[in-house]
Structure 1
Amino acid sequence: MEATKTAEQGPLAGVRVVDLSTVVVGPACTLALADHGAEVIKVEAPDGDLMRQLGGGARHRGMTGKFMNFNRNKRSVCIDLKTEGGRAVLRRLLESADVFITNMRASALDKLGLDWESLRAVNPRLIHCLVLAFGRKGRYAGRPAYDTVIQSVSGVAGAFEASSGEPRFVPFVMTDHITGQIAAQAIGFALYRRTRTGVGESIEVPMFETMAAFVMREHMGNLTFDPPIGPVGDARILNADNRPVPTKDGYIAISPNTDAQAFAFFDAIGRPELKTDPRFCSVAARTANSLDYYSLRASALRDRTSAEWLEILERIDVPAMRYNTLESLLDDPHLEDAGFVSRVDHPSEGAIRQIGLPNAFSGGNRPETRPAPRLGEDTVAVLRECGFGQDEIDAALRDGIVHGVEREERQ
């Protein structure tokens, strides 16, 4: 797979990332890096990233839709790290890399000689990023986890219980997404510091601590003070009525927070007297009486359709938007206007739809993207670019140390 305009246009052009991560949390991080121009070399085992099989339906083995959504703009190199030859190949790739990221357990990295201390000896400019389930200073260090495990222990599911009386998981892998983005951010910070110091560094991004910070920044509130001045949790957000508001024919979301917005909303629902009601006459009053305020909002919109309310609320400048289902979201007219979804031809999967890059640089231009690679599609090209001779490549392929795309096509 040849380089494309993505690498030429992105702000991370020229940054080489060796990505030894799987499933979502690591690939979410490297997707952000790849989408912004970094060359991401995705190192996969002979069976491939688990998401090639775990990600739902596929036209061909190993090319699920979910895998393709998290792995576009990357290059796939298939290496058997169970062999000493495979480990040697990876270490040679890392000699010229700018960033190494993995969500492998720290103990396994140490055994493979891929820990920070070992790698900095051969590449002192390397940014070494380890995404962990739990930070290494705590008693949970070394335990395995997936997204739902972290949602449970970090208080995400507990926030649902505080709101609705029943602990639940957010129905997408939110902790993986957030931790992946934090890891990408940390890598960007480290790359910036390297421009001043000339040396790399080690980064650890623990999922549990990351999500605990997100939850408690939102809900610590009264517990910020010592002693606490009230119960834990933001009552507005935990209110059971903090959800899409029912209308005559569906739902909308509405959020009149400022006095001007709230007072305009009271006029719109035919309750102008609420502007002087001591429960609702100020931001502080509505916050203190959020249960009543949200209950009012939940019952006030049933006499008109969603379209009617959205037109009214837009006219009076009250924040409100349509309610989208999973099916309707991709057809949202704003996303259509923004070109959020594009249709491209994948070399093996045929016509597919790709989600666009939400942020833009330089006046709204977005880099072009290339679809996710087949397993081992770029093995030979990447090894050649990293200084391997053809005889070495042929021997590695013959001995099963590395695999090219031909192996995948035979299966």
Structure 2
Amino acid sequence: MDATTGSAAGPLDGVRVIDLSTVVMGPYAAQIMGDLGADVIKIESPSDTVRAGRYRTTPGMTPLSLNVNRNKRSVSLNLKDDTGRERALELIAGADVLITNMRPGALARLGLTYAELAEHHPGLVYAHAQGFRSDSDRAGHAAYDETVQASSGLVDIAHRALGRPVYLPTIIGDKVAALTIVYAVLAALVSRDRTGRGQHIEVPMTDTLLAFNLVEHLSGHVYEPAEGSTGFPLSMKRGHRAVPTADGLACIVPYHAQNFRDFFAAAGRPDLAGDPRVAGTVIEDADVDPLMELVADCAPSLTTQEWEEICAKHSIPMAPVLELDRAADDPYVRDGHLLDVVEHPSEGPIRSIGIPVRFSATPASVRRLAPLPGQDTAEVLDALPSARR
């Protein structure tokens, strides 16, 4: 089934999610749940920065909004207005999940805290994402991906590995937190199936990305007292980078001695294949950087395609460097429907990002392309109990 046109019920069919979040973290989490079959209703705010910026034809329909708002229905409500707030409460009362990244003070002013909602809706799974833990001295601080990269140690990792305190050129804090929201919500739904009760979930971005970073980078500080520095040794090496081939760039990462011997032999360097440093089964840590420099020296002797064939034959980890501008033409991307062109009702032809997981019985699918701001307000509100009285 084509992932961009499929209509089969996904594994979350029957689950209703209220997306009361802005920017990327919450909306991306809700979009993933929508891909998995949930009915996602996005309560829109006119100040959502995802809707601001460059667009093709329609204000608010930016590239980012087209990516994170698919499989949702959009409802425009002014939560500061009594009627708008009442409609929001009614929508939440009929939902299984609420995802929000509003600050605690704003939630309290609007009567949308977990304590207030759970009093009347004990089965609600309430996911609250924010920059820092609510019980910390940074609880009320503004948080953006750059500040989260800094406070989670990621900037330090980049500084030590690259020599510059740079931010990763991707909003990794937002996206890792979004994935964490999804698995936490799914776990809470399983718990609710057993107990009948929902719960409050707090997802602090800094804590989430710190835990993510430390899986390998805690390294010698796993032990108390420490038996070495932090930082995963391989990732911190100078030679840990893609290398030029005869016609492009490739990731070529020999991981053990036989990999190095096979690589050097294929490069026409029998002298290096017989180097004492690769004669055994284990590569000494001190030899990794100089050996990877030799890999970089040898890689231009063949094309990327030739290296891909050789490395596949000898089980040497290798991948061509995907150029994003050419991603849609890459055979792997194209054959996996990872960037299919679809017709959007208002924006015309757009590329829809594929769903990366495959279910044998309940396939995920893109059933709705991203809506216009408030596009579904009348449809959703007319179905509320209050509209039928």
- Using structure 2 for the length normalisation, give the TM-score: 0.93
Contact 1:254–1:319 at 8 Å: present in 2 too? yes
CA distance in 1, matches of 2:39, 2:153: 36
The aligned counterpart of 1:406 is none
* Structure 1 unmatched runs, 5+: 392-411
Listed as ranges, the matches of 1:140-151 within 5 Å are 140-151=138-149
The aligned counterpart of 1:14 is 14
Mean alpha-carbon deviation: is it higher for 200-209 or for 146-155? 146-155
* 1:75 corresponds to which of 50, 73, 76: 73
> Is the partner of 1:31 in helix, strand or coil?
helix
The aligned counterpart of 1:389 is 387
The aligned counterpart of 2:105 is 107
Residues 286/28 of structure 1: CA separation in 2 closer, same or farther (3 Å cut): farther
Amino acid at match of 1:53: A
Contact 2:10–2:363 at 8 Å: present in 1 too? no
**1:58 aligned onto 2:59:** no
Amino acid at match of 1:69: N
Amino acid at match of 1:197: T
The aligned counterpart of 1:136 is 134
> Is the partner of 2:41 in helix, strand or coil?
strand
Contact 1:7–1:14 at 8 Å: present in 2 too? no
The aligned counterpart of 2:31 is 31
The aligned counterpart of 2:177 is 179
The aligned counterpart of 1:244 is 242
Amino acid at match of 1:144: A
> How far off its partner does 1:113 sit?
1.1
CA distance in 2, matches of 1:366, 1:288: 47
Listed as ranges, the matches of 1:242-391 within 5 Å are 242-271=240-269, 279-281=277-279, 284-362=282-360, 365-389=363-387
The aligned counterpart of 2:210 is 212
Mean alpha-carbon deviation: is it higher for 350-359 or for 278-287? 278-287
Amino acid at match of 1:155: G
Contact 2:126–2:201 at 8 Å: present in 1 too? yes
Amino acid at match of 1:84: D
Residues 12/365 of structure 1: CA separation in 2 closer, same or farther (3 Å cut): closer
Identity of aligned residues (%): 37
> Is the partner of 2:234 in helix, strand or coil?
helix
CA distance in 1, matches of 2:44, 2:388: 21
CA distance in 2, matches of 1:368, 1:208: 31
Contact 2:251–2:319 at 8 Å: present in 1 too? yes
> Is the partner of 2:351 in helix, strand or coil?
strand
Residue by residue, what CA displacement relative to the aligned partner does 1:152-178 show, whole Å, maximum 9, x if unpaired? Answer: 221222211111110111112111111
The aligned counterpart of 2:228 is 230
> Is the partner of 2:352 in helix, strand or coil?
strand
Number of residue pairs matched by the alignment: 386
Amino acid at match of 1:42: K
CA distance in 1, matches of 2:7, 2:107: 29
Contact 1:7–1:13 at 8 Å: present in 2 too? no
Q: CA RMSD in A?
A: 2.2
> Is the partner of 2:187 in helix, strand or coil?
helix
CA distance in 1, matches of 2:261, 2:328: 34
> How far off its partner does 1:365 sit?
4.9
Amino acid at match of 1:15: V
Contact 2:242–2:250 at 8 Å: present in 1 too? yes
Residue by residue, what CA displacement relative to the aligned partner does 1:273-318 show, whole Å, maximum 9, x if unpaired? Answer: 6667564455653445322232222222122222222222222221
CA distance in 1, matches of 2:48, 2:339: 25
Amino acid at match of 2:41: I
- Using structure 1 for the length normalisation, give the TM-score: 0.88
Amino acid at match of 1:135: R
Contact 2:7–2:367 at 8 Å: present in 1 too? no
Whose relative contact order is higher, 1 or 2, with alpha carbons under 8 Å and at least 6 apart?
2
> How far off its partner does 1:8 sit?
4.8
Amino acid at match of 2:332: H
CA distance in 2, matches of 1:81, 1:280: 66
* Structure 2 unmatched runs, 5+: none
Mean alpha-carbon deviation: is it higher for 30-39 or for 232-241? 232-241
* 2:123 corresponds to which of 122, 125, 142: 125
